[in-house]
Amino acid sequence: MSRTSKPRLDPIASSRAPGKIILSGEQFVVLGAPAVAMAVNLYSRVEAWRSESGPMEVSADIPLQIVDEASKKSSVEKNQGLLEPLRLAALATLDHLREKDRAVQLNANCEIPIGAGLGSSASITVATISAVAKSRRARLEKSEIFKLAFVPERYLHGKPSGVDQATCAYGGIIQFRRPARIKRLSIKRPPKILVCDSGVHRSTRALVGSVVKKSRKEIGRFREHLEEVSAVSNSVVKSLKDEDTTDLGSLMNRNHELLRQIGVSTPRLDKLVTVARKAGALGAKLTGAGGGGCIIALVDDPKTRLKVERALRKEQGTLYDVSVDPRGVV
């Protein structure tokens, strides 16, 4: 597994998959609560072609850097391990297709920030599976892609819930519950979401593991949290269908408070959330595993949106003006 120095042939196949945000559920989905997630128009693209040299080769045109919160440093060499999930995804796909020939080269390009809670690993994984299948003239159902994605996602995250790869594979807005209950929601007017990257990126595996351990120690408390988050997620679905942005914003705010209570938010994320709300956002919350990464803000009015953007930029946040991706992996 290395960068190839030979001239590339035209790719046999390519696939694209979106990133995602989570409107409700987050860490609680690992413990069995439903989550509501939306695929967004930030993408990873994977090309696959037959290797003339024989063995599988993987390369990536992405910034393979995650900031270690303890040292505040990043290591490109350390994060070359981020290529391993692509190899695992390709091998799982070839096994699924009963293909003995492993001669394939892959190149991934990702515009989704790594370790920011926007589904970069799931997006790349899903796109890889689709591209490798296409390179063998096979078309996989999205349900098959979702299942195969657990192989590399387990490598990266330990015990992934599945919500990330489900959203990236199916697209649109979904309600998800472990292990594989995926309900695509028909929403006439998707929410207008602004994403703000805090600039601190982190490991999902460590954060999910810490929450699971805490839930085993604080059984009663987490049981109450799970009941409330389940109610929040169900209410989020209703507010989306009713186009009730005021209610949706309130639910997002409550979801953030629950995530703060279990210790996955940070002062930096809380500050960005507060700034967004004070500037006029109907609701704001962290998205993803927490510990860093991004917040999302619900802003309907264009003038208010400009105010929220200015306020978050003053806090050195990086902004992404996203919209729903309806297609998923293609």
pTM, two decimals, is 0.87
| 318-327 pLDDT per residue, tens | 999 899 999 9
Dihedral sign computed on CA atoms, order 299, 194, 255, 273: negative
Domains of the chain (ranges; CATH) run 13-185 (3.30.230.10), 193-322 (3.30.70.890)
**Chain centre to alpha carbon of residue 273:** 19
Which pLDDT score is estimated for 280? Answer: 98
CA distance 292 to 203: 9
| 136-154 pLDDT per residue, tens | 999 999 999 999 999 998 8
For residues 80, 213, 23, 60, the Cα torsion angle rounded to the nearest 10 degrees is 10
CA distance 25 to 166: 14
Residue among 61, 101, 164, 300 flagged as catalytic: 164
| 217-250 pLDDT per residue, tens | 656 676 788 899 999 999 999 999 999 999 999 9
The answer to whether 164 is a known catalytic residue is yes
CA distance 27 to 205: 11
CA distance 59 to 105: 8
Looking at the chain, the whole-number percentage of residues with pLDDT higher than 70 is 83
302 burial type by CB count under 10 A (0-12 exposed, 13-18 middle, 19+ buried)? exposed
Helices (H), the chain: 84-96, 120-135, 142-148, 150-157, 163-170, 204-217, 219-242, 245-261, 267-278, 302-314
